[in-house]
Amino acid sequence: MNALTLQWHDAGQDKTQNIYEQQPSQNPGTVRIGRDRLRCDIVLSHPTVSGLHVEIFFHQQQQRFYIRNLRSQNPPLVDGRQLVQGEMPLTEGTTISLGQIKLNVTQVSTGSIPATILMPPHPGHHHHSPTPSAPPLGIYGLECPKCHKVSPGENLQIGCHWCGTSLAAAVSVLVAPGS
């Protein structure tokens, strides 16, 4: 789960907000920050903050959170650098100044998706083995959650050979060599 934690001090209070990669917001995929309650997902009350000031979003290709300026007349400072156009990646410890409000990025967890599917070793790497297509370690298969028959790992996208059930929830099983 990709998440970013923002902390700031506004109107005499310390606030903390988590931003998740796909959290429901007024603009799906992005969290907007500013003074206008109608347009923003995180509302700051300070008069130096623009109505709609910046947005934070998760960049799928880069697998990182970015901040984008939405108000060219009042650019945010990201680690002391003015962000007038485009976007900048956010990392733990980044400070964002919107007007006189400073937001601190206290935590960023961009996790790789836990790998539950173990790919079989690539054939051809075992030069000493007479049959490179049968790795000596055995091969991994996917056990269908419905009919419990084992399909080859490459069927993950296609589904179970036998009953067509999706293998997204399948358990990886080791198919012993020679079985």
What was the pLDDT predicted at 138?
A: 63
Query: What are 91-130's pLDDT values in tens digits?
Result: 999 999 999 999 999 999 876 554 444 555 655 555 554 5
What was the pLDDT predicted at 133?
A: 52
Give this prediction's pTM.
0.60
Query: What are 13-30's pLDDT values in tens digits?
Result: 999 999 988 777 888 889
DSSP per-residue letters across the chain: --EEEEEEEETTEEEEEEEETT---SBTTEEEEES-TTT-SEE---TTS-SS-EEEEEETTTTEEEEEE--TTSPPEETTEE--SSEEE--TT-EEEETTEEEEEEEEE-PPPP--PPPPPPTTS-TTSS-TTS-TT-EEEEE-TTT-PEEEGGGGTT--TTT----TTPEEEEEPTT-
Query: What are 156-167's pLDDT values in tens digits?
Result: 777 887 788 887
Domain boundaries, the chain: 3-109, 138-178
Select from 3.90.1150.10, 1.10.10.10, 2.60.200.20, 1.25.40.20 the CATH code of 3-109: 2.60.200.20
